[in-house]
A and B are shown apart, each in its own frame.
Chain A
C-alpha cells in the first residue's frame, strides 16, 4: 500500500505527458521429484512469476517497480535447510521499486531501491499457510552506485538497511512465565522474538575483461545483523545485557570465458571461487551437560563451482545444455564435532558438500522454453550426532517444466 502510494507520488510529481514504459517479466512452472537418502517424496511443483513495468520518466530518471510471487513445493538442494525437514513448501511475495538516475555523458548511475517481502513456510504436516514458525516479513531500503568503466568494466557499490521479522516465532522460554506455580522455568533477560533482526548490508562488485576472451567478476558483501531481543549467553548459560550481533561476509571471484566454434555451436565456461564467513558475539550452551560453547556460531565456508554451457542452434533460439559441479566445505573453528550420542570430541566440526547438476533449455516458441534439470548433492561431515540435523546425506531433485519470458 505504502509502496504503491510512493510510486504514485513519484509518477504524479512529473509532468502529465505519457511515459515510455516496457513490461518485463516471466513465469516459470516446474514439476518434479525429490529423493532424500533413498526416500522418494511425492510429485510436487514450483511456480513463480515476475512482473516489472519499467518506466522511463525522463532522460535521466527511470523507475523499475517489480512484483514477484512464487510457490515452491519441491525441496531445493541449494538451500541450507533443504535437508533439515522431511516436508518443505514455501510461498513468497515481494514488491519493490528501483529508481535509476543516470545523466548522459556521466559514468555514474545512482539507484535508490526499496523492497517489501513476505515468505511463508510449511515445514511439517501440521503447519498451515500463514502460521509457519519461520514465516517472515522483510523491508529493505538502500542505494546502489554504479560506475561504468572502460573496456566494458563496471564497479558497483550498494548499501542497504534491512529489517526482518518473524511474527510467529517467540521463544518458549518467554512464553512461560518466569515463575510458574512457584517453579522457576525461565531466565532473567529472556527474549521473545529472538530471530527478528535488522542491520546493514554493504556490497562492492565489479567486472572487467581478462585478456581478449574472458571476463572476470568479483564481489564482496558484508551483512551486519543485530538481534536486539537476543541476549548473549555467558559461561554459566545465563543471559547478559549485550545483544547478539553477527557479521556475515561473502567474497566471490568468477572467471567466465565464451568460446565459439561456429554460429550454431558455442560454449560458455565459468569458474567461481567463493568464501563465506560468519562471526558472531553469541555463544552456545549445551544445557544437558552444562557446557559452554564460545563462538558457537562462527564458521568459514569455501566453495568452488566450475560450470560449462553448450549452446546449439541459432543465437536467438538456441538449445542450451549446462553442466555444473560444486564443492563446498564448511568449518566451525570453535565447534567440536560430536559423537553419535552428542558427546563432544576433539578438533573442529567440518562438513563437505559435493554437488552436480545438468540442465537443458529447449526453445518451443518465441519466448517459451522447455526446461529440464537434474541435481544431486552428497554431503558428509565429521559430526556423528545427527538426531536433530542431518550433516551427511544424499539428495536428488529432478524437475521439468516451462519458462515464458516477455
Chain B
C-alpha cells in the first residue's frame, strides 16, 4: 500500500502538467538541463522545474490535471514551480499569462511574478498576469477572487473586474479593469502612438541634409548682414573667358534692390595655368624676378545693373620700381594675397610691379579721368588725359575737367569707415565709402584695427572683417552702387588704399 502511494506521488511529481497546444516559436528547458530546445509536437509532458518560453506571436496552452489551464501570448517565459500537494504553482519571469481554475475545491492555484504572488481564493478563478520591465506586474481579475501579496508582505483580496499593479515598492491601489472594447482601443492607440513617433524619423535624417546645405551657404560667405542688419547675398567666382584671361566676379543681391557686382577681368600676354593660385599670388607684384606672365590689360567694374563705374587699363608691363629712375616710387612692402600679410621689402631689393601706359575711368560711359604714356618706367611718366580718350583715342568734345589728385580721404571716429571723395572742376564728383562690417551686421570698431588709420593697418583690418563699399557719382542721378565683398582682390590689384 505504502509502495502504491509512493508510486502515485512519484507519477504526480513526474508529470506536473501537459503542454496541450503550441503554435509559433516555443522552446522548453528541462529542469535537468540548461539548454533551450524547440518544443516538439504537442502534447508534451512537463515536469516541475521545466521552463517554457514563447517567441513573437506564439501561443501555448498548458493543462494542470483537470482543474487549471494556463495560456500565454508571445514573448513570455515561465517555469513550473515546486508543486504543492494537489496544486499548481507557475513562476512568470516576463510576458503575459492567463490562468483559469475550475472546481478547485481548495486546491492551491498560484502564479508568482517577481514583484507579486497571486493565489486563487474561490472555487473558480481566472486572472491575467502581465510582467514587464523591472519585474513590474499587472494583475487583472476576470473571474472569482484571488489574494495578491507583494514582496513586503502587503496583501489584498481582488475580485472580478479589478486590476492592480505591483512593483518593487509594493502593491498600488486597485482599479477597475477596462472593458474589452476600451482595452482594445487603448492598445490600438498605443500602437499608433509608436507609429507616429516612427513617422518623424525619415524627416529627421533629411533635415540633417537641409541644415548642412544651408550651413554651407553661411560658411562660404554667401549670406552676409550689412551695417543696417539687412541680408546681403554674395557669390564670388572666377570666369575663364579665354586661356589668357580670367575675371574675378563678386555678385551681390539685396531684397528689392536687384543685383550689384564688382568684377575685375585681367588679360595676360600668354596662356595661364588652370590652377590660378600663383597668378592671384602675383597680382600685387613679385620680388626678385618678374612673373612668367604679364598683365597686359584689365577692366575693373562696379555696377548696380543701371549704373557702371568702369576702370580700364592697357599697355601693361612689369617694372622693377626699386631700380628705376624715380626714387619716390620705391616699394617698401608688398601685400601677399596667399598669407594675407604685408611683406617687408628691403631697400634695393628687386620688386616688380605692373605699370600701364593707358588708363581711363568711366562713370556711366563718361570719361572722368585717365592717363597715357609709352612704356612708362614710373607712374610719374604718364600724362593726364585731357583732349582724347586714353583707351579709344577718340577726341573729346571738351577737355576733361581737372580733379583733386590725390583725393582727400577721411576716417570716421566711431566705427571703421573711410570716405574718399574725387571732385572735379566741373562740379561733378565720385565718392567711395569703405566700411568694415561686424559679424551679424553693424560697423566694426576701430579697436579691431591695430596700428590706427595707416594704409597698411586699414587694409589689414579690412581683411579681418566683411567689407562694404558704397559708390556714388554725379552721373548716377542719386543712385548708389552698394557692394559687400572680400577686400582681398581690390587690395591685391591696388584699387583699395
Residues of A within 8 A of B (CB): 20, 22, 24, 50, 52, 54, 56, 62, 64, 66, 79-81, 84-86, 94, 96, 98, 100, 104-107, 111, 113, 115, 117, 123-127, 131, 133-134, 136, 138, 140, 142, 144, 148-152, 156, 158, 160, 162, 164, 171-173, 175-176, 180-181, 183-187, 195, 197, 201, 203, 213, 221, 223, 225, 234-238, 246, 248, 250, 258, 260-264, 276, 278, 284-285, 287-292, 297, 314-315, 339-343, 386-390
Contact = CB atoms under 8 A, between A and B. Distances in A.
A314 B167 CA distance: 12
A288 B198 contact: no
B55 A150 contact: yes
Nearest to A261: B168
A289 B337 contact: yes
B482 interface: no
Interface in B260-312: 261, 263, 265, 274-277, 279-281, 299, 301, 303, 305, 308
Interface string B14-32: 0000000001110000000
B202 interface: yes
Given A96-B199, A186-B239, A289-B277, A84 B218 contact: yes
A263 B57 contact: no
- Among B217, B247, B279, B299, chain A packs the most CB atoms within 10 A around the CB of B217
Contact of B236 (A96, A131, A184, A288): A288
A288 B488 contact: yes
A287 B248 contact: yes
Q: Is the interface of B mostly helix, strand, loop or mixed?
A: mixed
Contact of B205 (A52, A138, A223): A223
Contacts of A162: 202, 206
Nearest to A98: B199
A81 B199 contact: no
Contacts of B167: 260, 262-263
B38 interface: no
B251 A203 contact: no
B325 interface: no
Contacts of B221: 387-388
Contacts of B275: 235-236, 290, 292
Contacts of B57: 104-107, 148
B252 A172 contact: yes
A158 B201 contact: yes
Given A180-B305, A287-B248, A288-B248, 12 more contacts: A54-B196, A84-B215, A107-B56, A126-B230, A133-B233, A158-B201, A171-B235, A173-B251, A201-B202, A223-B206, A260-B136, A341-B340
**What size tier do the contact residues of chain B reach?**
35 or more
B277 A291 contact: yes
A183 B263 contact: yes
Nearest to B280: A290
